[in-house]
Amino acid sequence: MSYDIPTQGRIPVLDITIPIHWNNHAMLMFGIWFVLVPAAVMFLRFGKIRPSTYGIPRGTPKWAWPELCWSVHKYTLYAALFLALGGAAFAMILSGGFSGTLHACFGLGTLLLGSMQILSAWFRGSHGGRKDPAADPEDRATWGGDHFDMTPRRWWFEAYHKTAGYFALLLAFGAVATGLSQFWMPGIAIALATVVATGLVLAVVLQGRGHNHDTYQSVYGTHPDHPFNRRRFGQMLADQGRKP
């Protein structure tokens, strides 16, 4: 089915007609989903500190290292989704609504999964641990929290959040590819190929240099009495046929 791309759009509230510059929409969405979002993901994946006995020091500010990677990840993704929703809404208003094209379907799917990423983060549960402001550093009984104890709530949040994030980027790739099939921009095509190739090389190098640290141990440390460390150690011994 062919789809004629409109060159003018009407703004209902102002009752005016303006020219539509689809190249601006394309550059905005590309910048969001293939610059901002991958940067936020890579910064967290490879920016965590090397695990120590008790992890991140108590009292570390949110915008100081090593808490910085989580703050950058969180607020960059908030900004990215805000811009993406605005860009999509503006495009739909000017073009007269949802077009039903393959590009529009990929775009809608990307926005839905992106929104779910934000919503899912609100249900990740409490943190806990020695560094928690409500905990007594000398009393392990006060360190409880969904993340520190790795409760089912936290376990399933991580399982969904990490997996759905990669699927959102996959849908974004589909949105860009189908968008280029409707409105060809060689600069965007070259930039897309460059970003994918650069991201692959960078991820391999950082992974190979050992910068992808375990999240739990980076945050809470390697102490064998930490609940999730103890659970994993027991599982490792069970796999080896030994008793913990």
Q: What stretch of H or E contains 9?
A: strand 8-11
- Residues 182-202: tens digit of each pLDDT: 989 999 999 999 999 999 999
Structure tokens at 19: 């020219």
Q: How much of the chain, in percent, has pLDDT values that exceed 90?
A: 79
- Residues 40-69: tens digit of each pLDDT: 999 999 999 999 999 999 999 989 988 999
Say whether the peptide bond before residue 66 is cis (omega within 30 degrees of 0). yes
Structure tokens at 198: 């650069």
**For residue 242, pLDDT beyond 70:** no
Q: Hey, what domains does the chain have and what are their CATH numbers?
A: 8-239 (1.20.120)
